[in-house]
């Protein structure tokens, strides 16, 4: 069952969405792991993309291009100009709550954008003589599988798709397109479906960084519904390492589930953050931070539970997570405490302040 002998080589890697949370962590990871390759980062710098996430990454083998994955001409030009042999595709609209308020952007970027990348790669790589030496990796989510009830078995790679939010549906659709390019055209792909990430550079619209920030500032800690929804949490560097394993040695045409084997209800996660902050900030006027918890009306269509079986990637690619939630949360909280400038620069915009009003004040 082991496949770790494949070991693809790459020279010119296009990372899409490399100014976002996971993408920027991946650019940093790849830059360290493969200092001699060329990394081209294509990102539209939406509200979720920040060049500050890439500080310290430079040199003549790293290139940032500001642009849209839906811009077919631009995508083709990048593939040609940089002789791209490998694509690692992160770019997406990624926040479930935003997909409930404005699904259109999700259809455009996640579906049309993925199609635009696939089709241009197919054409350019064929013009260059075929797919040999080329690879397209699509980064996806466990949310495509829908929701588990309390006693259901974890998602495996063969669990039928049943997405519940417009975000999950758009990612499911993009997964299907990627898969179809393999089945129909023999186009060289892999797909990974990962659980909830957390760690440095995560935009504070998502649960963990939002709670850290609000707690530091003595603001309410909003818990949707009763807070008993369960997610599986993975430290972002572990996700980057898993993707690196898949692009090196994942079998072409296959899907790999990635997860942290750390499942907790949201309320418990929030309480853990509060407790770490009580110790890290002994002078804070907001101790115990737990008293800031507020239950707010639930997210429509809120999935109760995700749990992901990582047997395949563990067995075939010898990958497993290195950080458990206690280690990962400690590192994450320290990072946010030490990077207040980053926080100010990404949250100080009127767009973000408007988002907080739209999502929370009207709940
Ligand atoms: P993010 O929202 O932090 O970053 C998305 C990036 O994509 C941003 O830099 C944004 O500017 C860029 N982008 C958006 N639209 C674009 C477009 N049209 N053209 C070019 N760039 C565009 O997202 P993230 O949390 O880092 O997630 C990255 C990927 O991983 C997504 O595909 C997401 O579905 C997937 N994923 C995320 C998680 C998670 O917990 N965050 C878990 C599993 C899978
Ligand atoms: O499972 C992988 C997915 O994880 C990724 O595909 C998505 O891109 C990523 O955003 C994440 O989706 P979630 O919806 O699970 O993440 P979020 O941080 O938004 O919410 C985590 C849980 O916390 C969820 O059950 C909703 C809840 N929540 C969230 C926020 C923002 C709250 O209770 N209060 C909040 O204010």
pLDDT digit string (tens) for 168-211? 999 999 999 999 999 999 999 999 999 999 999 999 999 999 99
Tell me how far the alpha carbon of residue 202 lies from the centroid of ligand 1, in angstroms. Answer: 10
pTM: 0.98
Band the pLDDT of 4: cuts 50, 70, 90. low
Structural contact between residues 85 and 11, judged by C-beta atoms closer than 8 angstroms: yes
Q: Could you tell me if residue 42 is inside a domain?
A: yes
pLDDT of 176: 98
Residues near 62 by beta carbon (within 8 Å), at least 6 away in sequence: 27, 31, 38, 39, 41
pLDDT exceeds cutoff 50 at 1: no
Q: Could you tell me if residue 285 is inside a domain?
A: no
Q: Could you tell me if residue 255 is inside a domain?
A: yes
Rounded distance between C-alpha atoms, residue 234 and residue 195, angstroms: 7
The chain-wide mean pLDDT, for the chain, equals 96
Q: Could you tell me if residue 100 is inside a domain?
A: yes
Question: Which of 143, 232, 237, 241 is flagged as catalytic?
Answer: 143
pLDDT exceeds cutoff 80 at 57: yes
Residue 12, SS3 per DSSP: strand
Residue 314 belongs to domain spanning: 12-199+234-261+305-324
Q: Could you tell me if residue 293 is inside a domain?
A: no
Structural contact between residues 148 and 305, judged by C-beta atoms closer than 8 angstroms: yes
Q: What is the DSSP letter of 360?
A: I
Q: Could you tell me if residue 274 is inside a domain?
A: no
pLDDT of 326: 96
Identify the CATH number of the domain in which residue 167 sits. Answer: 3.40.50.720
- Pocket probe for ligand 1: among 48, 71, 177, the residue whose CB has the most ligand atoms within 8 Å is 48
Tell me how far the alpha carbon of residue 324 lies from the centroid of ligand 2, in angstroms. Answer: 19
The C-alpha angle with vertex 263 and arms to 257 and 267, in degrees rounded to 5, equals 140
Q: Could you tell me if residue 240 is inside a domain?
A: yes
Average pLDDT over residues 14-20: 98
How many domains does one find in the chain? 1
pLDDT of 43: 98
Q: Could you tell me if residue 281 is inside a domain?
A: no
């Amino acid at each position: 069952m082991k496949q770790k002998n494949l070991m693809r080589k790459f020279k010119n890697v296009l990372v899409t969405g490399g100014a976002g949370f996971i993408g920027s962590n991946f650019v940093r990871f790849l830059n360290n792991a493969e200092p001699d390759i060329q990394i081209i980062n294509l990102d539209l710098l939406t509200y979720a993309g920040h060049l500050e996430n890439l500080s310290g990454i430079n040199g003549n083998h790293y290139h940032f291009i500001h642009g849209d994955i839906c811009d077919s001409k631009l995508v083709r030009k990048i593939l040609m100009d940089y002789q791209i042999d490998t694509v690692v595709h992160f770019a997406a609209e990624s926040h479930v709550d935003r997909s409930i308020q404005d699904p259109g952007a999700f259809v455009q970027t996640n579906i049309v954008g993925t199609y635009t990348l696939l089709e241009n790669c197919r054409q350019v790589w064929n013009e260059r003589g075929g797919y040999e030496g080329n690879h397209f990796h699509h980064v996806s989510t466990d949310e495509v599988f829908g929701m588990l009830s309390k006693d259901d078995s974890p998602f495996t790679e063969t669990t039928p798709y049943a997405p519940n939010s417009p975000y999950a549906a758009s990612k499911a659709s993009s997964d299907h397109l990627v898969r179809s390019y393999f089945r129909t055209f023999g186009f060289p792909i892999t797909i990974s479906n990962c659980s909830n990430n957390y760690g440095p550079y995560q935009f504070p619209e998502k649960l963990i960084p939002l709670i850290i920030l609000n707690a530091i500032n003595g603001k309410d800690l909003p818990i949707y519904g009763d807070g008993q929804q369960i997610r599986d949490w993975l430290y972002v560097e572990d996700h980057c390492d898993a993707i690196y394993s898949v692009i090196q040695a994942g079998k072409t045409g296959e899907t790999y589930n990635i997860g942290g084997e750390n499942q907790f209800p949201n309320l418990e996660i929030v309480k853990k953050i509060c407790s770490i902050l009580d110790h890290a900030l002994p002078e804070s006027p907001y101790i115990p931070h737990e008293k800031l918890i507020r239950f707010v009306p639930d997210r429509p269509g809120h999935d109760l539970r995700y749990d992901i079986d990582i047997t395949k990637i563990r067995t075939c690619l010898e990958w497993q997570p290195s950080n458990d939630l206690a280690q990962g949360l400690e590192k994450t909280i320290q990072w946010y405490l030490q990077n207040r400038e980053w926080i100010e620069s990404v949250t100080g915009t009127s767009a973000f302040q408007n988002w907080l009003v739209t999502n929370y004040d009207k709940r």
